[in-house]
Amino acid sequence: MSYASVFAPGLFAGKVIVVTGGGSGIGRCVAHELAALGAQVALLGRKIEKLERVAAEIAQDGAAHPASVHVCDIRQEDAVRSTVAAIVAQHGAIDGLVNNAGGQYMTPLEAISAKGWEAVVNTNLTGGFLMARECYTQSMAQHGGAMVNIVADMWGSMPGMGHSGAARAGMVSLTETAAAEWAGAGVRVNAVAPGYIASSGMDHYPPEAGPMLRAMAKTVPLGRFGTEAETAAGIVFLLSPAAAFISGSTLRIDGARPQVRMGWPMTVASAKVQTRAAISPFDGFHRATTPQVFAKASPESQ
């Protein structure tokens, strides 16, 4: 099997695109789609084993170009600077950046230590800034390019993950600023805000969060979780020539979840309605797997 992308074959032929957090979840998925569309993908992350596994998958799927692997902690300025330099040296240039690496943990505000706050903000905001700055100064400032920053559904706040919500909101503002400052060099900067996506990232939460995670689909007007492929498709679109006049925007991929309002009776799409072409799940990623938290039906998910 191969990636069932909705985009034209060879769309990114000759393009070099960096994907941070490319060893799992949405990063892994978008790396596969970009490689299937002809891009030379540079996978970046902290764990070489995960990156090498994805690179091997891309090779097995017959991509036109092998993916390169780059171990880097995006929170470390010197490491980011040297890693981007290595990517430019290996590939010649950087045409696209998917700023996907991130992470958080669940805890109420009053229990977040300064160290914990800084760790999440550094991962989800500072690291993304460093990657964007270095890709711009070391390559895109000379020949243009496109960046997509991955944020989150933080509209209406993120109770239980306030550190992540603050960082993601900051990244939206950074996206808008970079779009204005770097437009003169022919660089577009946008963001994608995934909502509730059935991704391997959900398995990083503690087991006691399982019932809550399984119940979240009931709060989404479209009545389901999104897929990794649906998120990747939005990212690929923003990187593509079709988005040539889109910059400084944030594309929400969330099934209208932030539109749920107190005082308005929410109608959730039933399983039968979800089979209709306009809203049925798009599962283009042939290597996608179900997160373990959803693997087995449980009483609370019924």
pLDDT of residue 108: 87
| β-sheet bridge partners, residue 148 | 98, 190
pLDDT of residue 239: 98
Cα dihedral sign for 61, 48, 66, 239?
A: positive
Architecture in CATH for domain 16-282:
3-Layer(aba) Sandwich (3.40)
Whole-structure pTM value:
0.91
- CB under 8 Å to 36, separation ≥6 — which residues? 2, 3, 5, 61, 63
Top mean-pLDDT range of 213-217, 267-271, 283-287:
283-287
Beta-carbon neighbour count of residue 285 at 10 Å? 25
Token representation of residue 65:
């170009």
- Helical residues (DSSP H) of the chain, grouped into ranges: 25-36, 48-60, 77-91, 114-121, 127-135, 141-143, 162-182, 210-215, 228-239, 292-295
Instruction: Determine the straight-line distance between the first and last CA of the chain, rounded to whole angstroms.
Output: 32
Token representation of residue 77:
């300025």
Burial class (CB in 10 A: 0-12, 13-18, 19+), 141: middle
Query: Lowest-pLDDT range, 56-60, 107-111, 206-210?
Result: 206-210
Render pLDDT for 22-58 as a digit per residue (tens, 0 to 9). Answer: 999 999 999 999 999 999 999 999 999 999 999 999 9
Using pLDDT thresholds of 50, 70 and 90, give the confidence band for residue 298: very low
Beta-carbon neighbour count of residue 50 at 10 Å? 18
Token representation of residue 41:
């993908």
The mean pLDDT value of the chain amounts to: 91
Q: Rounded to whole angstroms, how far apart are CA atoms 93 and 88?
A: 5
Q: Rounded to whole angstroms, how far apart are CA atoms 88 and 204?
A: 33
pLDDT of residue 15: 98
Comparing 257 with 91, which gets the higher pLDDT?
91
pLDDT at 302 over 70: no
Cα dihedral sign for 212, 295, 35, 84?
A: positive
Q: Rounded to whole angstroms, how far apart are CA atoms 23 and 29?
A: 9
Q: Rounded to whole angstroms, how far apart are CA atoms 186 and 140?
A: 8
Q: Rounded to whole angstroms, how far apart are CA atoms 105 and 89?
A: 36
- Mean pLDDT on 9-20: 98
- Mean pLDDT on 195-209: 77
In one-letter notation, the amino acid at residue 70 is: H
pLDDT at 271 over 50: yes
Cα dihedral sign for 123, 125, 127, 132?
A: positive
Q: Rounded to whole angstroms, how far apart are CA atoms 145 and 93?
A: 10
pLDDT at 301 over 50: no
Render pLDDT for 50-107 as a digit per residue (tens, 0 to 9). Answer: 999 999 999 999 999 999 999 999 999 999 999 999 999 999 999 999 999 988 778 8
Render pLDDT for 211-250 as a digit per residue (tens, 0 to 9). Answer: 777 888 888 999 999 999 999 999 999 999 999 999 999 9
